Structure 1
Amino acid sequence: MARIKASTLEDLNDPFEFNTIALNHPVMRSLWKILRSDVFGSVGVFCFSKSWRNPVIWSHYADNHRGLALGFEVPDENIQKMHYRKTPLRFSSRTLSNPDTPEAQREILEAIQKSSHVKFKHWEYENEVRSIENKGELIEDDGRFFKRFGEDLELKEVIIGAASKLSSSEVLSATSAKPKIVTTRLAFQTFSVVQQRTRALQK
């Protein structure tokens, strides 16, 4: 079964995920912690990069360039663009102290929506977009959550890392799809990962 694993609130590698609100009072921070858990504890997050050319991404997420990158086609309406900031979002503590008013509920909803696609500026190298889905719509397997490849998650290409020992034929034998296979190398004149176009050196 071709599927991709969702990240959950508990295993995201950024401790500030969905926690990008600046609150200056401990009671308000406790309230936000509860709200964060209630809202985002029930979702799975799929994180994608818009480009595979950054060598830092390969070092952090693909076993030091020995792994693979999967290129998916995802409908635009399923994708959130990430926004990167030097400082957390500002939010009035008074809103959380009076959460039942229409104005407060509107502000809380806006804060939740913004928090789902804001990260610290130093994550900007990831060039991330993401898809967020309810766990109830995903496949649960031993406490983990997955989404099947399909029309709204179509595997289009597999990019082989510059230090990978895998061959194109091995990659193709592992999937029933027929993705484009891209062999990569390190660029000669820039700090980037590029496609290996010399046929004899392709994997």
Structure 2
Amino acid sequence: MNSMANNRVLFKYRNCKDDGLRVLRERELWFATANTFNDPFEAETSFPDVLAAVWARKELPLNLKLKFQKALKESISTYGVCALSRARKNQLMWSHYADEHRGFCIGFKEKELRGEGSRIHAINIKYQSNYPYQGIIDRLEFFESHPSENSLQKIAGDIIHSILGTKYSGWKYERERRLIKLESGALKFEPKAINSIAFGLRTSEESKEEIRSLLSGKEWSHVKWYKAEKSTAKYSLDFSLLS
């Protein structure tokens, strides 16, 4: 893990309902399967279309195509993905994922979520209009020219990361960074993984008190608390530190 990752903070936007508070109550992040993503052009849903775009541009023997398709389909159905953002001040994120500014935003230390020797991978999403077929073609050609250095599973893994790491350019505002592991399900984290909580412009006092109470133990004493405020000079958010 490089030095930048050691200091990187990633943000998770939540509402103040039971499902949103579960992250804090259970001290866990959920890694979803690709077929549950909210964008129908993503991952498992677009998988056949991405491969169709690849096969239209790259000739492979039919038996090899079928092997790749089988390995890819089996793997992508089990991978777990947790979506976080590199942006805390994005108004659209607050509107879409934090109940129209009524929710809150958790700052996570990437280093603590992934841990030393972790098999959790992290990728910044690449936003573009086309399917990521060119990168996949490059990997297939490398496989063909260096068969002794690559296994079908390794190349399949690289291709899946390419698919999971690409979204339509209209989502660019999210500045998404994805954590990916081989299995879906919950990932437990230690209190030290959270470094901050920010309340939205419309977070109710009742919700603030409930969230504060969930993190009232001494193991949470390091957490910094913020509240969002409208900038007085432009259409943007500022954050003030709470005591």
TM over 0.5: yes
2:193 maps to 1:164: no
Match of 2:125 in 1: 82
* Pair 1:14 & 2:39 matched: yes
Q: Determine whether 1:193 maps to 2:232.
A: no
- 1:114 partner amino acid: S
How far apart, CA to CA, are the structure 1 residues paired with 2:72 and 2:100? 33
Query: How does the TM-score come out when normalised to structure 2?
Result: 0.63
1:126 maps to amino acid: E
Q: Tell me: CA distance 1:79–1:149, structure 2 relative to 1, closer, same or farther (3 Å).
A: same
Within 5 Å, give how 1:165-184 maps onto structure 2. 165-166=204-205, 168-175=208-215, 176=217, 177-178=220-221, 179-184=223-228
Gaps of 5+ in 1: 139-144
Distance 1:148 1:126 in 2: 24
Query: For structure 1, which segment, 30-39 or 161-170, has the greater mean C-alpha deviation from structure 2 after superposition?
Result: 30-39
Gaps in structure 2 of 5+ consecutive residues: 1-25, 57-61
Judging by fraction of residues, say which structure has more strand.
1
The whole-number CA distance in structure 2 between the counterparts of 1:8 and 1:163 is 32
Query: What residue number does 2:89 align with?
Result: 53
Greater helix fraction, Structure 1 or Structure 2: 2
Q: Are 1:22 and 1:89, in contact at CA under 8 Å, matched by a contact in 2? A: no
Residue from 188, 192, 208 that aligns with 1:148 = 188
**CA pair 14-85 structure 1, distance change in 2 beyond 3 A:** same
- Runs of 4+ aligned structure 1 residues displaced above 3 Å come to 24-27, 29-37, 101-110, 166-170
Compute the displacement of 1:41 (Å).
Answer: 1.4
**Does the C-alpha gap of structure 1 residues 22 and 173 become closer, same or farther in structure 2, counting only changes over 3 Å?**
same
Partners of 2:66 and 2:226 lie apart in 1 by 48
CA distances 1:121-170 after superposition (whole Å, capped 9, x unpaired): 111100011111132xx7xxxxxx2111128x801111101110046543
**Residues 158 and 182, structure 1, Cα contact 8 Å, conserved in 2:** yes
Separation (CA, whole Å) in 1 of partners of 2:104 and 2:66: 40
Shift of 1:37: 3.5
Superposed, 1:99-178 pairs within 5 Å as 102=147, 105=152, 108-135=156-183, 145-150=185-190, 154-166=193-205, 168-175=208-215, 176=217, 177-178=220-221
**Separation in structure 2 between the aligned mates of residue 87 and residue 43 of structure 1, nearest angstrom:** 23
| Rounded Cα–Cα distance in structure 2 between residues aligned with 1:157 and 1:133 | 24
Aligned residues of 1:186 and 1:194 also touching (Cα < 8 A): yes
8 A Cα contact 1:184 1:196, kept in partner: yes
Name the TM-score, length of structure 1 as normaliser: 0.73
Residues 85/125 of structure 1: CA separation in 2 closer, same or farther (3 Å cut) = same
SS in 1 for 2:34: coil
**1:142 is matched with which residue?**
none
Is the 2:28–2:188 Cα contact (8 Å) retained in structure 1? yes
The alignment of Structure 1 onto Structure 2 pairs a total of residues equal to: 186
What CA distance in whole angstroms lies between the structure 2 residues aligned with 1:33 and 1:65? Answer: 42
Contact 1:71 1:157 in 2 (8 A): yes
Residues in 2 aligned to 1:31 and 1:54: alpha-carbon distance in whole angstroms:
42
Is the contact made by 1:22 and 1:88 (CA closer than 8 Å) also made in structure 2?
no
